[in-house]
Chain A
Amino acid sequence: MISALSLFDLVLIILLLWLAWHLLSARDLFRATVLFITYGLLMSLAWVRLKAPDVALAEAAIGAGITGALVLVALGRFGEAESDEAEPGSLWLRGLVASAALGLFALLGWAVWSLPTEMAGLKAQVFERMGESGVENPVTGVLLNFRAWDTLLEMAVLFLAVLGAWSLGEAEEPSMPAPGESLLALVRLLIPLIVLVSGYLLWLGETAPGGAFQGGAVLASGFVLLLLAGVRPIPSLMGWPLRAALGSGFALFLVVAVAVTGGSRMLLEYPPGWEKGLILLIEGVLTLAIAVTLGVLFAGGRPPASPGAGKRGEKR
């Protein structure tokens, strides 16, 4: 697995370090955010290089795309002038933090350096039992079967984030110009494509890189696009249907986890023969729940209470 250093690796690493430094020291926050999105896209190149295509897809869609959009819209809500800032803090304090950081880097570097060169990890165990997982993509197998517990709790984290965001207030309209004709035309063109790609990624996750998270993130980008284009949601969907969609991922996962328990089987231990169906069911619901959750988090608060005024909600 150890190959020689190539020019590509060196250029990529130098670019990543350069971008990380410059996005964090850019005076203008808008510039910093754009650099952050670039950084995320380059990082997904690094994931491809390190043979982690699942992670690359998630990074491009979530790490660069959704996070970048979230920061940009927050920047819009923060308002103008204060987005630029000289490097603050006294010199000695920055020096202190810098030397502590350097010390930490030395420690981490030493720890990484002294790792054994050939580590088996848990790979052997995973590949040995892939036949029992119900899927062919090992990453999906780990996420939805072997370590489904992590994914269940991850859905709880997403749900908690929405609860936190909603408890802070109603979503407010970001200050944006009215959408032009070209944006609306683009939305009409892209939305069906986004739904298609999302479904394809979900289905692909069984055998190839893809799955609920990548599909959900792509679908969420559709919601973000609709919100940016000023498309009003259907008010009747802003009540309990929205809340049901938000809770559905965690709820269904939990129900399946408990329902398969019994006899000698533990929590989340799917009965033999049922794995593929159960994983597909969970992933399907998870895709929608993740998409709606990310879209709601982009809106930045609960839908406005007055019916009909619910511009900032989620549905088409």
Chain B
Amino acid sequence: MNIVLLYALTGCAIFTVGLYALFTRRHLLRKVLAANVAGSGLFLVFIAIAYGTPGERPDPVPHAMVLTGIVVAVSATALALVLAVRFRAVTGRTSFGEEEEAKRDEEPGASSVKAPDDKDGEGT
């Protein structure tokens, strides 16, 4: 196994972990972090493949695309965070789940009834 493949596969793994967390984590800030982690996994695949091109220097085109991607990701993150803070200020909740927050306050163990709420979370 060579370096390029190893880093590219790591990128795939990080992307998958980020995606999994995006769907399963409930707290909005956690979702924002998860989306960022998933994005960085994708960047790693790009840069690994750019490194693998034959010749002395790597391919600059994926580098430019990842640079653009990093800036777009930070603006999307900033907007998502402003939206999340606003959502929190208006509704007093930290996630999209409807009732589970009140429920959790009463009985922390009641997690099996939360399944329908997760659907809302996935839509983001």
Contact = CB atoms under 8 A, between A and B. Distances in A.
B52 A16 contact: no
Contacts of A108: 12, 15-16
A75 B67 CA distance: 26
A119 to B, nearest CB: 6
Interface in A136-171: 138-139, 141-143, 147, 150-151, 154, 157-158, 160-161, 164-165, 168-169
Given A46-B7, A52-B63, A139-B63, A154 B23 contact: no
12 contacts: A1-B54, A2-B52, A63-B36, A89-B24, A90-B114, A93-B24, A97-B20, A101-B16, A119-B53, A127-B57, A147-B64, A157-B71
Contacts of B26: 85, 88-89
A58 B70 contact: yes
Contacts of A89: 24, 26, 111, 114-115, 118
Classify the secondary structure of B's interface with A.
helix
A77 interface: yes
B1 A5 contact: yes
Interface residues of B, number: 85
B107 to A, nearest CB: 13
A101 B59 contact: no
Given A17-B13, A20-B18, A70-B78, 17 more contacts: A1-B55, A5-B3, A13-B6, A24-B21, A24-B34, A29-B29, A43-B44, A62-B74, A63-B36, A67-B73, A83-B29, A87-B24, A93-B115, A109-B9, A139-B60, A161-B75, A297-B79
Interface in A285-306: 290, 293-294, 297-298, 300-301
Contacts of A88: 24-26, 97, 100, 111, 114, 118
